[in-house]
Structure 1
Amino acid sequence: MAVRIRAEDIAAVKDRTSIVDVVRDHVTLRSAGVGSLKGLCPFHDEKTPSFTVRESAGTFHCFGCGEGGDVVAFVQKIDHLSFVEAVERLASRLGMELQREEGGAGGPEGGLGRRSRLVEAHRIAQEFYTDLLIKSPDARAARDFLRQRDFNGAQCEPFGVGFSPRGGEDLARLLRGKGFSDEELTLAGLVGRGARGIYDRFRGRLMWPIRDTSGDTIGFGARRIFDDDRIEAKYLNTTETTIYKKSQVLYGIDLAKKTISKGRQAVVVEGYTDVMAAHLSGVESAVATCGTAFGVDHIKLLRRLMRDEPGLDPARIVFTFDGDAAGQKAAMKAFAEDQRWTAQSFVAVAAEGMDPCDLRLRKGAEAVKALVEDAVPMFEFAVRTLIARCDLDTAEGRVQAMKVAAPVINSVKDPSLRPEYQRTVAGWIGVGVEQLADQMRRAGTLKAPNEGPRRREADAPEPDSAELAAAYQMPDLRDPLVNAEAQLLQVLLQYPNAVSPDVYDTVPPEAFVAPAHRAVFDAIRSVVVTEGMTLVQWVDAVTHLAPLAAQPLVSALSVATLPTSIDAATGGPDQRYVDSLVARVREVSLTREIANAMSLMRRLSSDPDADPEQVRDVGTHLQTVQRQLALLREGVS
C-alpha cells in the first residue's frame, strides 16, 4: 500500500493558507478590483501584469500564459515540487503536523516528499554551522576574518553566517544520526562521495546560507580561510541540486524582498560580505548572485518584486561593479540585458575600486549609501567604457569612438532621451553634434547608387560578446515604430501566407529600427520554403537561422497575440491591417534613405573636389526615393 497524506489534512492546509501571502513571496501584488490582486507572472516573462490572485476563491490565474489553480498548484509550479512536497511545504509554513495513512495506489498524493527532506537537512546544517562559528576553537580564523571586516556576532546573526568543521565527516555523521540517508545527503549537495564513502562537501570554511524568497535554506556559499585548504578556490558553492539552481537565486533575497517591493529599488552587489555591508549600512535592498553572472532569471525575479511594469514610475536597479576590466565586462553584460527592464538601470563604482564591504570598513556606512545614491545611468557607464578604449587625441580615435557610441545611443529605451544623450556624448568625444548624428544615421542604412550589398565598414571593430548581445536586446515596444515592426514580424511568423512575397524585395532588413527585429527579419527572408512545410517547421527554421542572442525573440513573436481581430473566413488578420504595417516600415526605410541622401548631397556640395557624376547620381537617387515615398503615402491614404 502507498502512504498518503490524509484528505482532511490536505483540505485543512488549503483552508488555513492565504494564497496571497504565499504568492507575495514571489510576486509583488497590487489591487485589481474588488477582491482581486494583480502582478507580473512568475511563470513567463511579461511587460504588463496579467497574473491575478483572488483570496476569496484561493486561486490564481495568468491571462498571459494560462497557468492557474489553487495554492498547492502554485507552490508545485513555482518550486518544481510534487503534490505531496507542496502540501508538506505549506504545512511546515503553518506549523502543522500532517497525518499519513495507507491506501490507494499512489496518485498525486502518493509517496513522501523529497524536497522537504532536503530543505530540512539544510536547516539542520545551517544551525550546526552557526553554532560552531560561535563555540568552536577551530573557528577562530573565521571569527577573525569577520572582525577584520567589522562584522560582530550580532550583525552576522540575521545572515546565518557559520563555520564548517575541518574533520570531513562531522555534518554527515550528525545528519545520519537524525535519520537522513546517504542518498538524501548527496542529492542535497551537502556531502560528496569517494572511494571510502561519503564526506562533508564543506570543510574548514566560512559559511553563508543561501535562502530562497520564502526563507528556506537551499544551499551554501563557502569561503576559504585556511592556507592549507586542499581546495584552492576562494569560494566554493553548492552544486546544482533539485532545490538549488544558481541562475535562479540571489543571496540576501529573503532579507531584501520587502524593501525591494516597497521602495521599488534593487541593488546588485558582487559578494556575500558586500550584501552584509550594504544591509548594515542601510541599503537593505542589496542582493548578490551566487557563483554565476547576473542573468535573465535573476531579472525576472527582481522585476516581479519591484513591479517593473509600464504605466508606473520607473523602478530603479543599481549595479555595483569593481572598476577593473572584469567589472567593466560585467557591466557591459548587464547593459546587454537592459531592454528586459522597464526599470531605470544605474551603475555605482566606488573610488579606488572599493567594493561595498571595503567602503564601509574604510569610510563608514554613509559612504555605502552615498555610493548607491550617486550611481550613474547604465547608459553613461556603457558609453564611457566603450569610448575609453579609443584615443580621443586623434581624428581616427574620435571616429572610432563615434562608431562604438552610436549603437548604444540608438538603443536607449526612451526615444525622447536620445537627442540629449547625443549632445552629451558628442561633448565627451569632442566632436560636433551633427557629426555624431550623422554617424548614427549612417550606421548600416544608406547605400549610394549601385553600391551593392551593405557590409560592415572595414575599419569598424568586431564587436565583443557583450556588445553583440546588446545589439539583440529585447526591443522597446513603447516606441510606436518599434511596436509596428514587432507586429509585422508576428504576422510573418504566425500567418506567413497573409503577407505578399514581394515584401521581402520592397522592405530591406535595414528598414527595421530595432537591431533584434532586423536580425529576425533577415532570418525570415533566408528560410527556404519547402513543399508541405508546417507552421511549426517554419518557425523552427527561422529560429535556427536567427543569431543565438535573437532566438528568444523569435519564440516570443511566434506566440504573442496580435492587437487585431482574426478574419473567420481567411483564418488570418485583416489584410488592411497587414498592408498598413508593411507600409509603415517601408515609409521609415524610405524616409531614412532620403535623409541620408540629402546629408551626402550637402557634404558633396561643400566639397570642391567632389566628382560631378557622383553628385548627379546621388541627386537622381534622391528624387527616385522621394517619388517612391510619395506614392506609398498616396496608397495608404
Structure 2
Amino acid sequence: MAGKIKDEDIALVRERTAIADVISEHVTLKSAGGGNLKGLCPFHDEKTASFNVSPARNVYFCHGCGAGGDAIKFLMDHDHLSFVEAVERLAGRAGLQLRYVEAGAAPIRQTGQKQRLIAAHTEAARFYAEQLGTPGARAAREFLAARGFSREAAERYGCGFAPEGWDPLTKHLRQKGYTAAELTSAGLSREARSGSLIDRFRRRLLWPIKDISGEVIGFGARKLFDDDDGPKYLNTPETPLYKKSHVLYGIDHAKREIAKQSRVVIVEGYTDVMACHLAGVPVAVATCGTAFGADHISVLRRLLLDADGYGGEIIFTFDGDAAGQKAALRAFEDDQRFVAQTFIAVGPDNMDPCELRLAKGDTAVRDLVADRQPLLDFALRSVIQRFDLDLAEGRVGALKATAPLVAKIKDRTLRPEYARKLAGDLGMELETVQRAVSSAAKGVVDVVPPQRRILAPDSAEALVEREALKLALQQPVLAGPMFDAVGAETYAHPAYQSLRAAIAEAGGASSASGGGVVWIEQVREACVDLAASALVTELAVEPLRLDGEPDPRYVEATIIRLQLPALNRTIAELKSKLQRINPVSNAEEHLRLFSELVSLEQHARALRDRGASRW
C-alpha cells in the first residue's frame, strides 16, 4: 500500500498553486481593495459578500461563517475531497509528479476514490466520443445533424455514442485497470440478472455532464431507436460524483460568461444549451433530469455574485404551455432567493431554443433572450387565464390566486405598481386589490367579492342619479326621451336603480302626458320594494339643484353626467379584457374588442364635450 505524500511535495503544491485561480472557478471574485478579492461564500447562504481571498498570502477567509484556509482546504470542503485527493488534483493542475512515503521498495502513486471515478468518467467520455464516428452510430450523427449541429459542434461538447452490445465500455475500462466496484459506484456499469457486469448505456447518443471545474461526472443519454423500451432520456444515477440537484449541464462552458455578463439563461435540454451557445448566447445552462431548485440557485448565485449591491439576470426559457407555466410558477417561488431580476423568454409557437435556431437561425435565438419579460408578469398571466374574468366569481378567484404572488415580491417598492397593474388586468377596484395583497403578505387573503358599487347618498355620482330621477318624476314631458334612453343598469345606487326600473315599468317618462299626481301614482304602483316606493313621494317634491326652472339643456347636462361614470367603468373593463387577449393568436377577437373600445371612447369624448358646453 502506498503511504502519505512527501511533505516537500505538499509544500511545492501549495507554492505552485494560485488560490484565486482555484476559487474563481467556483466563486465570482471582485476587487476588495488592497490587493484582496471578495465574493459570496460557497459554504453558507449569504446576500452580502463576506468571503475574502488574499492572493498574496494564498489563503481565504469568510467573515460570515468562519471558513478559511488554503487551496487544499478549499477543495476538501467545497468538493468533498480527502486531503490526498485535494493535493493530487492541485498537483495535476500544476503539472507536478507526487512522491509517496511507503514501506515497499517501489513507490506507487495512490489516488483517492473520487479521483479514480473522475478518471474513469474521463476515459468513458473519450471512448464514447470515438464511437460516434463508427458505422453503428449513424443514427446518432443523423440526430445531431437534423438539429443543426455540425461535427465540430459535436466534438466541442464531447458528444458520443454508446455502442451495441452488453459490455463494450465495461471491458474497455476493466482493461484500463478499473475494478467492478469502481465502475458500479461511478454509475458507468451495472449488474445484470446473471450477475455479470454490463454497460449502463446502450445504443444511445450521449452528452458528458461536467461539474463547474470541467471534470466529467456523469452522462445524459438520448434514445435513438424505436425498439429501445427505456425512457427518452436516461441519466447517470446518483453517485459519489453525480448529484442531479446540484448539476447544471453546460456550466463548464458558460461559467466565465455568466460571471462576465452577470446573466444566465436556464433552458430545458442538452441540445438547447448547444443551440444557445452556438447562436451567441454563451450563458445558457440546463438542469439534468430534475426541476430547477435551491441547490442550482446556490451554484448560480455565486457565479452571478448575487448579493446586495450587485444582482444580474436569470432568464428562464420554459414553454408557454401548461407544463411550462407550472414550471414558471415554481421558478417564481425560487425567484425570491435571488437579488437578481428574473425573466422568462417564450419562443414563437412555443419553440425551444434548438427548434428556434433550426427554423429561424441564430438571430432568432438571440432575439428570444432579448425579448424576455419579467417572470412575475408571466406568472400572473398564467394564473389569471385560468379564470373567467367576465364573471364576478372568476375575478374573485383570480385575485385570491394572484394576490399572494404580488405579496411575495422581494422588492417592496414594486408591490404597489403590480397591485395597480393587477387591478387593471382583473377589472377590479384598486382598493380591493391592495387590501388582498396586504392581507396575503400577512399570510391570509382577504377578498371582498366585487359587488355593484354602493354609493354614499351625498356622493357626486349619487346626487346626479337623484337629480335625474327628480326630473323624470317632476318634469316627465321635459325629461322624456333623454331620460328614457338611459337604462336602470347605469344607476349604481340600489334604491335609485330600483326606482328607475319602476319608471320603465310605468311606461317611461315619455308616456306621462302631463305628469302630476296620476303619473306619480303610476310609478309608485310599479315599485317592487318599499325603499323605492318611499322615494317616489320624496323625490316628487324635493327641489331640483338649480335656480329657476329647468330647461332641455339642464336635462341633457344631467343625463350626460349620469352616463359618464358607467361608461368609464365599461371602458375600463374592456381595456382589461383587451390586455388579457393575445393579439397574435386571437387576432379577430382582439380587433373586435379594440374597435368597440375606440367607439366607446369616442362616445365618452363626445359626451364630455357636449357636457362642457352645457354646464
* TM-score of the aligned structures, taking structure 2 as reference length: 0.71
Q: Which residue type is aligned with residue 57 of structure 1?
A: R
Task: Identify the residue that residue 145 of structure 1 maps to in structure 2.
Answer: 143
Task: Identify the residue that residue 160 of structure 1 maps to in structure 2.
Answer: 158
Decide whether aligned partners of structure 1 residues 34 and 441 sit closer, same or farther in structure 2, where only a CA change above 3 A counts: closer
Measured after TM superposition, the shift of residue 297 of structure 1 is 0.9
Structure-to-structure mapping, 1:553-592, within 5 angstroms: none
Q: Which residue type is aligned with residue 232 of structure 2?
A: K
CA distance in 1, matches of 2:457, 2:116: 74
Measured after TM superposition, the shift of residue 311 of structure 1 is 1.3
CA distance in 2, matches of 1:436, 1:59: 53
* The one of 169, 179, 182 aligned to 1:184: 182
CA distance in 2, matches of 1:3, 1:59: 27
CA distance in 1, matches of 2:6, 2:457: 83
Task: Identify the residue that residue 330 of structure 1 maps to in structure 2.
Answer: 327
Measured after TM superposition, the shift of residue 357 of structure 1 is 0.5
Task: Identify the residue that residue 275 of structure 1 maps to in structure 2.
Answer: 273
Structure-to-structure mapping, 1:83-122, within 5 angstroms: 83-102=83-102, 112-122=111-121
Decide whether aligned partners of structure 1 residues 61 and 133 sit closer, same or farther in structure 2, where only a CA change above 3 A counts: same
Question: Any idea what SS the aligned residue of 1:423 has?
Answer: helix
Q: Which residue type is aligned with residue 412 of structure 1?
A: I
1:382 aligned to 2:379? yes
Measured after TM superposition, the shift of residue 601 of structure 1 is 12
* The one of 406, 411, 420 aligned to 1:409: 406
1:429 aligned to 2:426? yes
CA distance in 1, matches of 2:418, 2:126: 52
Task: Identify the residue that residue 123 of structure 2 maps to in structure 1.
Answer: 124
Task: Identify the residue that residue 513 of structure 2 maps to in structure 1.
Answer: none
Q: Which residue type is aligned with residue 379 of structure 1?
A: L
Q: 8 Å contact 1:360–1:368 — kept in the other structure?
A: yes
CA distance in 2, matches of 1:243, 1:444: 41
Q: 8 Å contact 1:3–1:112 — kept in the other structure?
A: no
* The one of 248, 264, 279 aligned to 2:246: 248
CA distance in 2, matches of 1:24, 1:345: 24
Task: Identify the residue that residue 196 of structure 1 maps to in structure 2.
Answer: 195
Measured after TM superposition, the shift of residue 69 of structure 1 is 0.9
Task: Identify the residue that residue 229 of structure 1 maps to in structure 2.
Answer: 228
Question: Any idea what SS the aligned residue of 1:5 has?
Answer: coil
Map Cα deviations across residues 409-434 of structure 1 (whole Å, 9 max, x no partner).
Answer: 12222222222222222222222323
Q: 8 Å contact 2:436–2:447 — kept in the other structure?
A: no
CA distance in 2, matches of 1:385, 1:2: 61
CA distance in 1, matches of 2:438, 2:332: 22
CA distance in 1, matches of 2:423, 2:445: 23
Measured after TM superposition, the shift of residue 197 of structure 1 is 1.1
When Rg is computed on C-alpha atoms for both structures, the one with the higher figure is 2
Measured after TM superposition, the shift of residue 603 of structure 1 is 12
CA distance in 1, matches of 2:341, 2:328: 14
Question: Any idea what SS the aligned residue of 2:248 has?
Answer: coil
Q: 8 Å contact 1:4–1:103 — kept in the other structure?
A: no
CA distance in 1, matches of 2:7, 2:232: 49
Measured after TM superposition, the shift of residue 439 of structure 1 is 2.9
Q: 8 Å contact 2:407–2:441 — kept in the other structure?
A: no
Measured after TM superposition, the shift of residue 602 of structure 1 is 8.0
Decide whether aligned partners of structure 1 residues 600 and 26 sit closer, same or farther in structure 2, where only a CA change above 3 A counts: farther
Q: 8 Å contact 1:260–1:266 — kept in the other structure?
A: yes
Q: Which residue type is aligned with residue 409 of structure 1?
A: V
Decide whether aligned partners of structure 1 residues 144 and 435 sit closer, same or farther in structure 2, where only a CA change above 3 A counts: same
1:398 aligned to 2:383? no
Measured after TM superposition, the shift of residue 72 of structure 1 is 0.4
Question: Any idea what SS the aligned residue of 1:46 has?
Answer: coil
Measured after TM superposition, the shift of residue 95 of structure 1 is 2.5
Task: Identify the residue that residue 264 of structure 2 maps to in structure 1.
Answer: 266
* The one of 356, 360, 363 aligned to 1:359: 356
CA distance in 1, matches of 2:352, 2:430: 36
Decide whether aligned partners of structure 1 residues 390 and 65 sit closer, same or farther in structure 2, where only a CA change above 3 A counts: same
Decide whether aligned partners of structure 1 residues 602 and 237 sit closer, same or farther in structure 2, where only a CA change above 3 A counts: farther
Task: Identify the residue that residue 291 of structure 1 maps to in structure 2.
Answer: 289
Task: Identify the residue that residue 488 of structure 1 maps to in structure 2.
Answer: none
Which stretches of structure 1, 4 residues or more, deviate above 6 A after TM superposition? 454-460, 599-609
Q: Which residue type is aligned with residue 281 of structure 2?
A: V
Question: Any idea what SS the aligned residue of 1:247 has?
Answer: coil
Decide whether aligned partners of structure 1 residues 171 and 419 sit closer, same or farther in structure 2, where only a CA change above 3 A counts: same
CA distance in 1, matches of 2:260, 2:22: 17
Question: Any idea what SS the aligned residue of 2:98 has?
Answer: coil
* TM-score of the aligned structures, taking structure 1 as reference length: 0.68
Task: Identify the residue that residue 216 of structure 2 maps to in structure 1.
Answer: 217
Q: Which residue type is aligned with residue 126 of structure 2?
A: E
Measured after TM superposition, the shift of residue 339 of structure 1 is 1.1
CA distance in 1, matches of 2:145, 2:76: 42
Measured after TM superposition, the shift of residue 101 of structure 1 is 2.4
Task: Identify the residue that residue 345 of structure 1 maps to in structure 2.
Answer: 342
Task: Identify the residue that residue 133 of structure 1 maps to in structure 2.
Answer: 132
Measured after TM superposition, the shift of residue 438 of structure 1 is 3.3
Q: Which residue type is aligned with residue 48 of structure 1?
A: T
After alignment, is 90-99 or 170-179 more displaced? 90-99
CA distance in 2, matches of 1:70, 1:360: 45
Question: Any idea what SS the aligned residue of 2:37 has?
Answer: strand
Decide whether aligned partners of structure 1 residues 290 and 166 sit closer, same or farther in structure 2, where only a CA change above 3 A counts: same
After alignment, is 417-426 or 289-298 more displaced? 417-426
CA distance in 1, matches of 2:328, 2:47: 23
CA distance in 2, matches of 1:380, 1:402: 14
Measured after TM superposition, the shift of residue 443 of structure 1 is 4.3
Q: Which residue type is aligned with residue 406 of structure 2?
A: I
Measured after TM superposition, the shift of residue 103 of structure 1 is 5.5
Map Cα deviations across residues 554-583 of structure 1 (whole Å, 9 max, x no partner).
Answer: xxxxxxxxxxxxxxxxxxxxxxxxxxxxxx
Decide whether aligned partners of structure 1 residues 349 and 13 sit closer, same or farther in structure 2, where only a CA change above 3 A counts: same
Structure-to-structure mapping, 1:506-521, within 5 angstroms: none
1:315 aligned to 2:299? no
Question: Any idea what SS the aligned residue of 2:190 has?
Answer: strand
CA distance in 2, matches of 1:603, 1:92: 85
Decide whether aligned partners of structure 1 residues 226 and 311 sit closer, same or farther in structure 2, where only a CA change above 3 A counts: same
Question: Any idea what SS the aligned residue of 1:102 has?
Answer: coil
CA distance in 2, matches of 1:444, 1:190: 49
Q: Which residue type is aligned with residue 381 of structure 1?
A: F
Decide whether aligned partners of structure 1 residues 601 and 129 sit closer, same or farther in structure 2, where only a CA change above 3 A counts: same
Decide whether aligned partners of structure 1 residues 10 and 280 sit closer, same or farther in structure 2, where only a CA change above 3 A counts: same
Decide whether aligned partners of structure 1 residues 444 and 223 sit closer, same or farther in structure 2, where only a CA change above 3 A counts: closer
Decide whether aligned partners of structure 1 residues 92 and 173 sit closer, same or farther in structure 2, where only a CA change above 3 A counts: same
After alignment, is 280-289 or 112-121 more displaced? 112-121
Decide whether aligned partners of structure 1 residues 602 and 259 sit closer, same or farther in structure 2, where only a CA change above 3 A counts: farther
Measured after TM superposition, the shift of residue 111 of structure 1 is 6.6
Decide whether aligned partners of structure 1 residues 455 and 293 sit closer, same or farther in structure 2, where only a CA change above 3 A counts: closer
Structure 2 unaligned spans of 5+: 463-492, 496-615
Question: Any idea what SS the aligned residue of 2:14 has?
Answer: helix
Cα RMSD for the two superposed structures = 2.6
Task: Identify the residue that residue 68 of structure 1 maps to in structure 2.
Answer: 68
Decide whether aligned partners of structure 1 residues 247 and 602 sit closer, same or farther in structure 2, where only a CA change above 3 A counts: farther
* The one of 251, 255, 277 aligned to 1:257: 255
Q: 8 Å contact 1:247–1:297 — kept in the other structure?
A: yes
CA distance in 2, matches of 1:444, 1:125: 52
Decide whether aligned partners of structure 1 residues 59 and 432 sit closer, same or farther in structure 2, where only a CA change above 3 A counts: same
CA distance in 2, matches of 1:74, 1:455: 45
Decide whether aligned partners of structure 1 residues 604 and 13 sit closer, same or farther in structure 2, where only a CA change above 3 A counts: farther
